[in-house]
Structure 1
Amino acid sequence: MYALYYAPGAASLVVHWLLIELGLEHELRRVDMQAREQKSAEYLALNPNGVIPTLIVDGRPHYEAAALAMYLVDRHPQAGFAPALDDPQRAEYAQWMFNLVSTLQAPLRLWWYPWDLQADDAAVRAGAQAQIETACARFEVQLAQRGPYLLGERLSAADFYLTMLMRWSRNLPKPAHDWPHLAEYARRMKARPSFKTLYEREGLTEWA
């Protein structure tokens, strides 16, 4: 069984979603981020970065949301959410996962937490917004030309990850769902029964 340290709507969301989608037995352990439990000595012993999520697998802690998503779908290939190592699309799949982290997740985090840079918040957010919009425009082109998913007809962990990041953009001046193909993509992903279950379990309502 898996145990997931999570906070509603945080980066743990994609891991939680995949656990549900894959039908895997798991235990949820909520971390109170307002009380900064993620910085407690107990949690830091599991995840020295002091961030969400941490996934306990066979008694051992693992972290980094993108890595956990890739690990789960590789460990449970029955759903086909990751091309096999010898599949021609494997490199493209890995490329999208890393691209999402570097070009979308990173500036989204800056937009939500600009004070981490100890710089002018407005300037940091403006720069982050520009990076986010550039990334969204590129994903829009990909979906328009090769959709309905990032790998064409093949649904993968990258799509669950992108959907989570789109949710994070919901309150930005120009959220990701303002692009038409991304909007349709989000509707398709949110129509999955697992998404409804995820929202119910995490007590989420925004961007439903």
Structure 2
Amino acid sequence: MAGYHIYGRPFAGSLIAEFLLTEVGEDYTISFPDKEERQSAAFRAFSPLGKIPALTTPDGYTICETLAIIAHITDRHPSLMPASAQNRDRYWESISLLGTTMYPAYHRQHHSYYYAPDAAFDEMRRLAQADQSVLFDHIEAMLSPYLCGEEITAADFYFYMMCRWDMDKDAMRDSRPKLASFISHMRAHPSVIKVLDAQPRPAK
């Protein structure tokens, strides 16, 4: 039986699958289909919307959508979730907040052309950043030192991935010491270092 295969993009949303599979010691391969390939009939046969990340399992079927990918991996590796019922609820609350509120705010900033004409980009990004500021303040209060207390979970890897996309990282960390510490700890985590070091860089 083959291992996992990730369809992704360097430094983008496929990082979460790489972080989690690396953390639990699962073997995987990864490819980076370009836009043309993602529109092909062959790719859309397993990712009907042409979206990445997508994860092909050792059983041969493919999962699309990030939250479904996280759920698949954590179902098979419960160590990526908190042990207690109370913290498990907090974990799912965090995953939901990140996927339904934080991620869309980043998407509106980095892919504004999906939502509005060029003339509205600056205002859209300003509003998205304002939404994020409220979320960062909320998460600052939650961190202790991770989202679910002392245990590092899949939610922390997911949140760290999004923090890497922020357009003003200094502002994100300013006046939020727990968030700044969280980012430093996650950046130094062995699985994170291994995955980021392996990302392909543009040829110079």
State TM-score, norm by structure 2.
0.88
Alpha-carbon distance in 1 for matches of 2:185, 2:82? 21
Structure 1 residues 93 and 60 mapped into 2: Cα distance closer, same or farther (>3 Å)?
A: same
For 1:1-208, list aligned pairs within 5 A. Answer: 1-32=3-34, 35-57=35-57, 58-77=59-78, 80-83=79-82, 87-119=85-117, 120-143=120-143, 147-169=144-166, 171-172=167-168, 175-178=171-174, 179-203=176-200
For the 8 Å contact 1:66–1:161, the answer to whether it is kept is no
Gaps of 5+ in 2: none
Structure 1 residues 134 and 174 mapped into 2: Cα distance closer, same or farther (>3 Å)?
A: farther
The aligned amino acid for 1:97 is: I
| RMSD value, Cα | 1.9
**Pairwise CA distance, 1:41:** 2.4
Gaps of 5+ in 1: none
Secondary structure at the counterpart of residue 56 of structure 2: strand
Alpha-carbon distance in 2 for matches of 1:17, 1:199? 9
Alpha-carbon distance in 2 for matches of 1:91, 1:157? 13
Structure 1 residues 200 and 20 mapped into 2: Cα distance closer, same or farther (>3 Å)?
A: same
The aligned amino acid for 2:133 is: E
The aligned amino acid for 2:197 is: E
The aligned amino acid for 1:2 is: Y
For the 8 Å contact 2:82–2:151, the answer to whether it is kept is no
